Structure formats: structure tokens, C-alpha cells
Structure 1
Amino acid sequence: MWSIGELAERAGVTVKTVRFYSDRGLLPEGSRSAGGHRRYGPEALDRLRLIRSLRSLDLPVPEVSRVLDREEALGEALEEVVAGRLRELGSRMAALRWREAALRLLQDCTPEERPDRLRLIGSMTTPPSTDTLARFWRRWLPPRIPAPVLRSFLDRAVPEPPADPAPGQVLAFARLHAFVSGPCPRTTTTAHWQPAVHRPDEGYRPAVLYEGLGEAYDLASAQLRDRRAPREGEALDCFVAAYARSGGTRDTPAFRRRLSGQLAADPRIDHYWDLTAEIVSPPSGPREPTPGSAHDWLRAALDAHLARTAA
């Protein structure tokens, strides 16, 4: 049996460290001497080395205790703790990357730009939450859309914050956050701030529409990535069919003409899609398609089709 000083010397730690872990129940003593001094057996050295290894990973004492308490399933307990610690570190590192990019954004701007950028950055968390974006779409979209359809659209429309953002992406996300946090303004061309298909008196079935639009946007996004000009084909047919089915009608030349006029009169949120493209695209690469750019491509394809058939 070793004294507390002998155990500390063998482990390469201080007596204070051994006493600290003993007092917290992490390092049980083997016995007491006649004078009441603590005595430790060889197994205490192995346990102390394990404690030091766990603490070197920056595990807090309660987590170390939880691992040691499950000595019979040490591997399983350690795996759970390590996985949780990795998640925590990942969140902290993402926050640090966002803060670094935000600081570079402030460092690289002019003195005149700095107050506005500081205000924008200060209005959101780091890394930012997408809750305000999701709330924006729940206000914009028609009510009572089935949850699976809503989730599918939000997956396309709400950009995820990049794990390692460039300063420009931080600025774009801050501007997007400010944009969706404000009131939805009425446009100068219509008394409504939502498209006609969102208004119940127009007789559309929004769930049918958005389920079809998701497929049309995916098809158009493939065309955009290939840098193809707007054209007739499967993507356009799917786009028109979504509007036709949602309104309980058929895809006819007359319907396509009416649809073109309706889409031209609908309010737009181009600023949202422009900022979204900045967020999801590589800083030095081509712009990634968004539902907004896919919608514009499909509208242009519809107009080109109508012009050709009219000619």
C-alpha cells in the first residue's frame, strides 16, 4: 500500500491532485494507516492514469465520474461521452469560425460601412439560427399545408449556415436575417403581398401545387447547373402541370397564357433568393441554383414557349 505522496510521485502528479480526486470519490482509497492517513493499492495508479487521460480530453469531472461508474462497460460509456464531447466541440468550433469570419468582415470594410455591418452581425447568433427564416416562410406560404410538403419546401428554401463561412457569406446571412425579420411590405402593383395561389378565394390547392413545384424546381436546377438556356421540356411541363392540377384544370395553350400573366403580376422576393444564393454558393465558384432561380428559369421557359407558338 502506498501513501498519498508515493501514489502522487508514481503517477507524476501533485498530492493536491490525488486528494482532489479522492475527495470527489473518483479515486477510492484502499485503507487507512494507524495514524489515519490514506493508503492506496496498485489499482489506484491505473485508475489515476485513466482519470488523467480523460481530463486531458477536457472532460469535466462529472463526465469522468460517469465513465468510471460504469467500469463494467467502460468502452460503451467512453464512446457515449466522446461522441457527446465531439458534438459540443463541433458547435463551439462552428461558432468560432463564424466569429472569425465576422471579425474579418468588419476588418476589411470601410469606416463608413462598419456601423451598419456591426448592427447586422449583432442582430443574430453565431452560428446563426434558421428559425427566423422558417417563420418567414410559414407566414408567406398558404396555411394548412401538410407537414411533409412544408418540410420538403423548407429544406429547399431555407439555407443552412456554412460550417466554415467566408466573410461575404456572413454578411449575406446577416442581411437575410434582417430581411425576413421585418414586416412583409405590400407591393406597388397589387394590394396583396402573397401570390394569387396563396389566397383561398382563388380556389387553388396549395399542397398539390407545392408538391409539384418541388419536382419542377429540381428538374430546372439540373438545367441551371448545366448552364442551359430556358427551354421547353420535362421541367416546364412539370411546372405548368403543378399549377394546372392545383387549380383543378388541364394544361392547355390558353391555360399557359393565363399562367404567364398571373406569374408576371405576382409579388416577388428576389432579394431573398439573391442572398440565399450567396450563402449556399462557394465564394469563388458558380452560383448554386435556388428555388427562386429555378422559378425564374421556368417562367422564362414558359414565355419563350408562348412566343414560339405565337410566331
Structure 2
Amino acid sequence: MSYDGLWSIGELAEHAGVTVKTVRFYSDRGLLPETARSVGGHRRYGPGALERLRLIRALRTLDLPIPQIRRILDEECERNGTVDGMGGESGGGGALENAVAGRLRDLGSQLSALRWREAALRLVQESPPGLRAERLRLVGALAVPPSTAPLVRFWRSWLPPRMPAPAVAAFLDVAVPPPPDDPAPEQVLAFARLNALTTGPCTGSEPCRPDAHRAAGVRAVAGLYAGLAEAYDLAGAHLRRGRQPHPGEALDGFVAAYTSAYGTRDTPGFRRLLADRLAADPRIDRYWELTATVLTPPGHRPEPTPGSAHDWLLAALTAQNATRR
């Protein structure tokens, strides 16, 4: 350090353990302002520049971009009342916290994408030769990490029009499985098949909307889904315990949801009619089978889905009707 207490660019680089080129790079981008210029026009830096340079290097080690580093440094200088130095403890400002939080989110997405790519590669590697082409096509159609947007669009076209937004949101929260953060190959395949299933067009044999939606008005259908959600929760508890379909509170709530939607009474005749209608209604069993695979890590018992709960309740209703006959 010279008689005026300032460092040359070479002296600052030496004390910081970096190259002169590095110091010049940060100076040219406004991150490391010089305090003065020598008679010959050379840059001179105050003692606070060393701490500032070390902070810049630490932030770059975290892979933060230059604009974010500039905001962090500006906030530090404003808080400490300095221009070229840090003037006290650093690193506690909102700009730093926001930048670190954002970087962690980015890294989380990158790690998730890497885990999905690894599982997809293992899926292809472990597939029999005759199935590799098909599975590669399915996996290749997925974004990485995968998006649930196609599944949401599928259900929005399947649900009745003008259904109240809260009812739609509640149903989507149950019906759309989130992609696992660390998937097994079979979960990748199941999600890829869900993506293919939901992006395919509706056909005559698989209508977009079931008959139940045409049998009741919009408000009634919204109430129907709310009642079904409660019945599915009750049936899910039985499924988790491995209990066989049977009459009880879950089945009564299931039937009550339909009687309320249709404006009729719960009678043995209605229960027979309902069982026949549900058995003939277009079903999306495949969707629920795939959803169960997506949600269940290998070696674990599948969690109940609306589809498996519906099947349990329909089986209970069918068995009850047979007993009454």
C-alpha cells in the first residue's frame, strides 16, 4: 500500500489471491469501483475494496449472476454508509436472502430434472428390447421436470362447464398427482402414460364428459362432487385397512351425493338404477391406475385414489343390491 493508503490493481489482486484480470473484470462491470486514479491514469483502491472483492468472489462461488451481486453490494453499501468498501458485517440484507432463495429454487428444479432424466434412462435401459421404442417415445413427450398442465387441461374439459372455481380447485388438488421428486423408472413410465392419455383426443367410445354431468344441472353437479369427495375419503380409510366393500356410512354418503344432485329420494329402486348407470358410464380406470403408480414408491402399498374409492363404493352398492334381490 502506498503513502496515500491506496492499493494499485496489482496490489489488490495479490492481497485477494486473484489475477489482475479478475479485478479489472469486476471493476469494468461496476462491482468494484476504484477510489482514485494515479497521475498516470492507473486505478487505485481503498482498503475496503479487499473485503468487497472477497464478497464478490464468494457470491460468484454461489453462482449468483452479476445483476444480483450488484443489488446485494448496493444494499450493503447503503446500510453501512460506504461507497467502495463494506464497512462492517455483511450478508444480512434482503437482496442476499432473495438471491440465495432464488438460487436454491433453481438448483432444486435442476436436481429434480436430473433425477427424472436418470430414472428415464434407467427405464429405457431396463426395458425389454421390444418395448424400448414405445417407452422412449412416451418419455420423450414429457417436459423435464414434467408438467401437470396436460392433466389439468384434461380434467377441466371433463368437468362440467361453469362449475364453481373452488369446487374445481378442490377436485384438481385430489385428481392431479404431483410428479415425484425422486422417481423410480416405473413412476416415470406411469406419468408418461398419464401424459399420453390426457393429451389424446376424445372419441365416441370415450366421451369427454360422463352421463352424470348431463343428468344434473351445474350447481347440482358441483354439490355432487363435494359429496363424492367426502364419500371417497371414507372409502379410502377402508381401503387403507384392506377392508372389503360393504354397506355403511361411506356408501350412504356416496348415494346421498347422487340423490341430492338428481333431486330424488334414496330408495332401493334408485340404488339399483344408480348402480346400472355407473357401471355403464364411461370410466377412466386407466387414469386412476396410473395415478396410483405415480404416487406410490416401489414396494409401498398404493394410496387410495378417487378411482379406487369409486370402485370400492360401486362394488359395495352392487353387492347390497344383489343381497336385497
Q: TM-score, normalised by structure 2?
A: 0.90
Counterpart position of 2:110: 92
Counterpart position of 2:38: 33
Kindly indicate whether residue 137 of structure 2 is the aligned counterpart of residue 132 of structure 1. no
Counterpart position of 1:245: 260
Counterpart position of 2:170: 152
Q: Structure 2 counterpart of 1:68, which letter?
A: L
Counterpart position of 2:124: 106
Pairing partner for 1:64 from 62, 66, 69: 69
Distance 1:26 1:87 in 2: 25
Q: 8 Å contact 2:12–2:50 — kept in the other structure?
A: yes
Pairing partner for 2:22 from 17, 20, 31: 17
Pairing partner for 1:236 from 241, 251, 255: 251
Q: TM-score, normalised by structure 1?
A: 0.94
Q: 8 Å contact 1:161–1:279 — kept in the other structure?
A: yes
Kindly indicate whether residue 83 of structure 2 is the aligned counterpart of residue 78 of structure 1. no
Counterpart position of 1:165: 183
Q: Structure 2 counterpart of 1:67, which letter?
A: I
Q: 8 Å contact 2:112–2:182 — kept in the other structure?
A: yes
Distance 2:39 2:217 in 1: 92
Q: Structure 1 counterpart of 2:240, which letter?
A: R
CA drift of 1:244 comes to 0.5
Aligned CA-pair RMSD = 1.5
- Paired residues in the alignment total 306
Q: How does 1:246-261 map to 2 (within 5 A)?
A: 246-261=261-276
Kindly indicate whether residue 300 of structure 2 is the aligned counterpart of residue 285 of structure 1. yes
Moved more, 132-141 or 65-74: 65-74
Distance 1:125 1:38 in 2: 50
CA drift of 1:193 comes to 5.6
Report % sequence identity. Answer: 66
Aligned pair in 2 of structure 1 residues 203, 51: CA closer, same or farther (>3 Å)?
A: closer
Instruction: Summarize deviations over 1:176-223 as a string: whole Å, max 9, x none.
Output: 1111111122339xxx563221115x5572111111111111111111
Counterpart position of 2:8: 3
CA drift of 1:302 comes to 1.1
Moved more, 1-10 or 135-144: 135-144
Q: 8 Å contact 2:157–2:208 — kept in the other structure?
A: no
CA drift of 1:36 comes to 1.1
Consecutive unaligned residues of structure 1, counting only runs of 5 or more, are: none
Question: Runs of at least 4 residues of structure 1 off by over 3 A?
Answer: none
Counterpart position of 1:194: 209
Q: Structure 2 counterpart of 1:290, which letter?
A: T
Q: 8 Å contact 2:256–2:266 — kept in the other structure?
A: yes
